[in-house]
A = this chain, B = another copy of it.
Amino acid sequence: MKAVFAALLVFVTVSSAFAKYFPKTGKRIPQTLSRGWGDQLIWAQTYEEALFWSRSKNKPLMVLFHLEDCPHSQALKKVFSENNEIQKTLDEDFIVLNLVYETTDKHLSPDGQYVPRIIFVDPTMTVRADITGRYSNRMYAYETGDIKLLITNMQKAKKLLKSEL
């Protein structure tokens, strides 16, 4: 009996020492960098990282500003993440970054800070302010009906600017 208790004590001690930390509110699902915009894509974490990869791989960068509690962002996310042409093109030809916070770089908000907003950046680090959506008051906004235009704009972004060197 004593041996059983001793073994039990050792077991409890060992298992509590090795038990992983879980919040009191219960186990959480680990956060993903995709935030639902494409779990199979390789997402940059920061604008600095994205610029580094864009330059070193000579691929255009798509920066996608959104918010978790914005219904327009959520609707666009659904069609965006389920569109295979977008996902395949982004995976093969683009560097991707999605952000729920604005950066300190004002070039990423040519006509203001709003979501959802999609800005392309050339590997020369030039923001492609010329690649715009359908709405004159929010030139970099896309709605769910604008997926074809978005794909056309991705093709535009793939035509890289000539470096001036």
Contact = CB atoms under 8 A, between A and B. Distances in A.
Contacts of A74: none
Contact of A84 (B19, B30, B42): B19
| Copies of this protein, total | 2
Interface string A40-66: 101101111100100000000000000
A91 interface: yes
A154 to B, nearest CB: 14
A3 to B, nearest CB: 29
Given A31-B33, A33-B32, A52 B101 contact: yes
Given A30-B32, A31-B34, A40-B27, A84 B46 contact: no
A22 B52 CA distance: 25
A150 to B, nearest CB: 16
Q: Is the interface of A mostly helix, strand, loop or mixed?
A: loop
Given A46-B103, A102-B48, A30 B22 contact: no
A30 B41 CA distance: 8
Interface residues of A, number: 34
A88 B46 contact: no
Interface of A: 19-23, 27-28, 30-34, 38-40, 42-43, 45-49, 52, 82, 84, 87-88, 91, 99-104
